[in-house]
C-alpha cells in the first residue's frame, strides 16, 4: 500500500554538496511624605531609585501601621569621638576626648589629666554595654514569647551543622545544613539586624510558616529563637529556585515542565488564599518558587506575607515590577494582588525572561507605565493562545476581573495549555483532552478503546481497528504504555489525523517499505550498514519531531547522515539521486511476513506473535 510519507521518502535525492553532519545537522523604596496615597512626584517610603526593581521591599502606608512609631528606634546608635591635643600648664600635652551626645568622657579627662580614672571609666562602660545587651536580649525574648513555635518548634543551635552557603541577602544568609542527620536549609538572620522591627518580622514569618502544611509550600521544620542566633529551618530544595533554572543556559526546560511549575505554584498559593483567615504572600516571583529533586515547585519566603483578617491592606510589599497597580498607588488591596504577581510569573515561565527587564530606571517610571499607560510586558506571538489569555487576565487593571487560583485549577487550564503545546494536531488534542487530560501515559488498552470510540472505528470499519496494531508499534513504550510525547511524534511524522483511515494508511505504507527502520540510533544505523555495499541506505526517525534521517554509504564506503526536514501534512526536502538501494532486515517486516529475514543489532520485540496484525 502506497503512502504519501513512503512515496516522499523513496523519491529523495541527495548529492555530495549536502552537509553530512549527523542526525541533528542542518530594596527599591524611598521616604513617604505623609500622604496615604503618594502623589506622582513623591517617593514611596523605603524606595531608592538606585536599587533593583526586582528586589523585595515592605512599607505599610495604612494609618494603623506601627512603622512610623519605630523610625528612631530603627536607627543604629553610634558614638562619634573627637580628639584634640593642647599644651598644659606644666608643659605636657593633654588629650581631651569629646563624645557626641554627652560630655562625661571629656569631664573625666579634665578631672584626671594623668589618666588615673581610665580604668574606672572602662569598667563603667563595660557594665553599661553589658546592661544594654541584657536589655536588648530581654526585649528580643519578649518580642518572641508570644509565638507558639517557641515551645513547639524550638531547635537547639548546637544540633545544626552548617554546610555550604546557598545564598545571601540584606536579611542574612541561607545555608545547606544537617539537622538530626537530615539535609535542611537554614536561614540565619544577620546579627546587625537584631532590632525590634527585625525581631517582629522574624516572629511573624515563623508564626505563618509553622501553621502551613501543603505539598506545594516549603516545609517549616523549626527555628532557633535565641537572640543573636535567630534561624529558620526548612526542608532543602536542592535544585534552587525557578529563576535559577530558567537562567541556566545549559538546562533546557521543556514547555511541559514549565507548565508543571505553574500548576504547582498555583496549588501552593491556592492553599494560602483558602486558609482561614486567608494569607497573602505579597512577594510572589520565580525566585521565591523553589524546586526539589522531584522537580516539584513549592512556594517559599513568607517574610512579607500578611494574614488577611481585615479583608484589605495598604502599603508597598514585594518587588516593584511584580506589584499590582493598586499596590503601586498605595490603594487598598487583597488576594488579587498575588494574582497580578502570578501573571508576571507565568510570563517569565512562558518566555524565560524577567518581566520589564531593563525597561525602567526608577519606580516613578514604572508607575507611569503600569498605572497611567496600562503597559504590560509584551507577550510573544509564539506563546500559546490559551496561556496568553490567562496571563492577560491575571494582570488585568481591575482586581475583580483577575481569576482566583481555585478557578485556574478547577478549569484544568495548565493541563490544557501543556496538552495543546505537545499535541499540535487538533483532533488528536481533542481525543486526549476528552479521555486523558490530566495524564501523560496510559495503557495501550485504554488508548485503543479511546481511539476507536472517538472515531467510531469499530462500528464503521473493522479493518481500521485491526490496523491500530501498527500505531501500537510506534507509540506504545514497552508494548503496554502509550506516552503523549510518543503519540505526538507519530502525528508529526504521519499526520495530520484528519481521518483515522488516512493516518493509518500513512503508517502502513511507510512501515511496509524495506528501507524504513524507524526508531534506531545513529550508531545502530551504522552497524546495520557496515557489511553492505556503497549506495546502500536506510531511513529512520530523526531526533527532530516530524523529520526523518537518511543514513547511507557513499562511493568511498563512508557513512553519512542527512536529515529530511518534514512537518505533518507537508512536503519533504529533496536532492540528487544517490542512495537507491534499501538496507534489508527491518524488524517491521515481520509484522507483514513472519518469515522475513531480520538483521539483529539488538533484541527485537516487533513480531507477528506479539502484534496481532494480519
Residue in 60, 207, 264, 283 annotated catalytic: 283
Distance of alpha carbon 68 from the chain centroid: 37
Query: What is the number of other CB atoms lying within 10 angstroms of the CB of residue 276?
Result: 7
Instruction: Note whether 176 and 185 are within 8 A (CB).
Output: yes
Could you tell me the strand order of the sheet in which 220-224 lies? 160-168, 172-179, 182-189, 231-235, 220-224
Residue 188 assigned ligand-binding role: yes
Does the annotation mark 283 as catalytic? Answer: yes
Query: Phi and psi dihedrals of 59, rounded to 5?
Result: -145, 120
Q: Residue-wise over 452-490: b if at least 16 C-beta within 10 A, else e?
A: bebbebeeebeebbebbbbbbbbbbeeeeebbbbbbbbb
Cα(338)–Cα(561) distance, rounded to whole angstroms?
52
Look up residue 486 and give its three cell numbers: 510518543
Label residue 115 left, alpha or beta by phi (over 0 means left) and psi (-120 to 50 means alpha).
Answer: left
User: Grid coordinates standing for 86?
Assistant: 593642647
Q: Residue by residue, what is the 3-state secondary structure of 37-57?
A: CCCCCCCCEECCCCCCCCCCE
For 544, the 3-state DSSP assignment is coil
Nearest to 567 by CA among 493, 499, 516, 498: 493
C-beta neighbour count of 254 within 10 angstroms: 12
Q: Measuring CA to CA, how many Å separate 489 from each of 255, 492, 539, 611?
A: 16, 5, 16, 21
Pair 525, 541: CB distance under 8 Å: no
Q: CA dist 127 to 108, 117, 133, 134, Å?
A: 17, 15, 10, 10
Concatenate the DSSP letters of all residues of 76-110 into one string.
PP---EEEEEEE-TTS-EEEEEEETTB-HHHHHHH
CB 525 within 8 A of CB 551: yes
Report the binding-site residues: 188
Give the residue numbers annotated as catalytic, written as ranges: 283
Report the binding-site residues for ATP: 188
Amino acid at each position: 500500500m502506497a503512502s504519501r510519507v513512503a512515496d516522499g521518502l523513496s523519491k529523495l535525492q541527495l548529492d555530495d554538496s549536502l552537509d553530512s553532519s549527523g542526525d541533528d545537522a542542518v530594596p527599591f523604596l524611598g521616604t513617604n511624605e505623609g500622604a496615604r496615597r503618594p502623589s506622582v512626584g513623591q517617593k514611596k517610603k523605603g524606595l531608592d531609585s538606585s536599587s533593583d526593581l526586582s528586589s523585595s521591599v515592605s512599607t505599610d502606608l495604612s494609618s494603623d501601621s506601627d512603622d512610623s512609631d519605630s523610625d528612631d528606634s530603627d536607627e543604629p546608635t553610634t558614638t562619634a569621638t573627637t580628639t584634640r591635643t593642647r599644651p598644659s600648664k606644666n608643659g605636657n600635652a593633654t588629650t581631651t576626648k569629646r563624645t557626641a551626645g554627652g560630655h562625661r568622657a571629656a569631664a573625666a579627662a579634665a578631672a584626671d589629666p594623668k589618666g588615673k580614672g581610665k580604668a574606672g571609666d572602662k569598667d563603667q562602660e563595660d557594665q553599661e554595654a553589658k546592661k544594654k545587651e541584657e536589655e536588648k536580649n530581654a526585649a528580643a525574648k519578649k518580642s518572641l514569647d508570644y509565638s507558639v513555635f517557641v515551645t513547639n518548634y524550638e531547635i537547639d543551635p548546637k544540633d545544626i551543622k552548617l554546610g555550604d552557603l546557598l545564598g545571601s541577602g540584606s536579611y542574612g544568609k541561607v545555608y545547606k545544613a544537617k539537622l538530626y542527620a537530615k539535609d535542611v536549609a537554614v536561614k540565619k538572620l544577620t546579627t546587625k539586624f537584631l532590632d525590634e522591627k527585625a525581631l517582629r518580622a522574624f516572629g511573624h514569618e515563623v508564626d505563618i510558616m509553622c501553621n502551613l502544611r501543603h505539598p506545594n509550600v516549603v516545609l517549616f521544620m523549626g527555628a532557633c529563637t535565641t537572640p543573636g542566633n535567630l534561624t529558620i529551618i526548612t526542608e532543602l530544595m536542592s535544585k534552587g529556585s525557578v529563576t535559577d533554572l530558567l537562567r541556566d543556559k545549559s538546562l533546557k526546560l521543556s514547555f511541559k515542565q514549565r507548565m508543571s511549575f505553574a500548576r504547582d505554584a498555583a496549588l501552593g498559593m491556592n492553599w494560602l488564599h483558602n486558609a482561614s483567615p486567608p494569607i497573602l504572600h505579597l512577594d510572589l516571583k520565580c525566585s521565591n518558587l523553589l524546586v526539589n529533586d522531584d522537580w516539584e515547585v513549592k512556594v517559599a519566603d513568607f517574610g512579607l506575607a500578611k494574614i488577611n483578617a481585615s479583608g484589605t491592606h495598604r502599603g508597598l510589599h514585594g518587588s516593584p515590577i511584580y506589584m499590582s497597580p493598586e499596590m503601586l498607588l498605595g490603594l487598598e488591596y487583597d488576594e488579587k494582588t498575588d494574582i497580578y504577581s502570578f501573571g508576571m510569573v507565568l510570563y517569565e515561565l512562558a518566555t524565560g525572561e524577567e518581566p520589564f527587564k531593563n525597561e525602567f530606571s526608577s519606580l516613578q517610571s514604572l508607575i507611569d507605565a503600569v498605572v497611567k499607560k496600562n503597559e504590560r510586558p509584551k507577550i510573544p506571538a509564539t506563546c500559546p493562545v490559551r496561556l496568553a489569555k490567562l496571563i492577560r487576565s491575571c494582570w488585568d487593571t481591575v482586581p475583580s476581573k483577575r481569576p482566583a487560583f481555585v478557578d485556574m485549577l478547577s478549569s484544568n487550564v495548565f493541563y490544557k495549555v501543556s496538552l495543546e503545546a505537545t499535541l499540535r494536531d487538533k483532533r488528536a488534542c481533542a481525543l486526549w483532552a476528552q479521555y486523558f487530560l490530566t495524564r501523560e501515559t496510559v495503557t495501550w488498552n485504554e488508548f485503543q478503546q479511546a481511539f476507536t470510540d472517538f472515531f467510531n472505528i469499530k462500528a464503521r470499519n473493522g479493518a481500521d481497528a485491526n490496523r491500530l496494531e501498527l500505531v501500537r508499534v510506534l507509540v506504545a513504550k514497552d508494548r503496554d504504555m502509550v506516552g503523549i510525547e510518543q503519540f505526538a511524534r507519530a502525528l508529526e511524522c504521519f499526520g495530520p489525523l484528519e481521518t483515522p483511515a488516512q493516518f493509518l494508511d500513512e503508517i502502513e505504507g511507510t512501515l511496509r517499505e524495506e528501507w524504513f527502520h524507524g526508531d534506531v540510533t545513529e550508531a545502530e544505523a551504522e552497524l546495520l550498514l557496515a557489511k553492505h555495499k556503497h549506495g546502500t541506505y536506510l531511513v529512520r526517525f530523526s531526533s527532530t519531531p516530524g523529520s526523518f534521517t537518511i543514513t547511507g554509504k557513499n562511493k568511498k564506503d563512508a557513512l553519512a547522515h542527512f536529515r529530511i526536514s518534514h512537518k505533518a501534512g507537508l512536503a519533504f526536502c529533496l536532492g540528487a539521486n544517490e542512495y537507491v538501494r534499501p538496507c534489508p532486515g527491518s524488524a517491521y517486516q515481520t509484522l507483514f511476513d513472519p518469515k522475513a529475514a531480520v538483521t539483529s543489532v539488538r533484541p527485537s520485540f516487533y513480531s507477528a506473535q506479539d502484534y496481532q496484525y494480519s
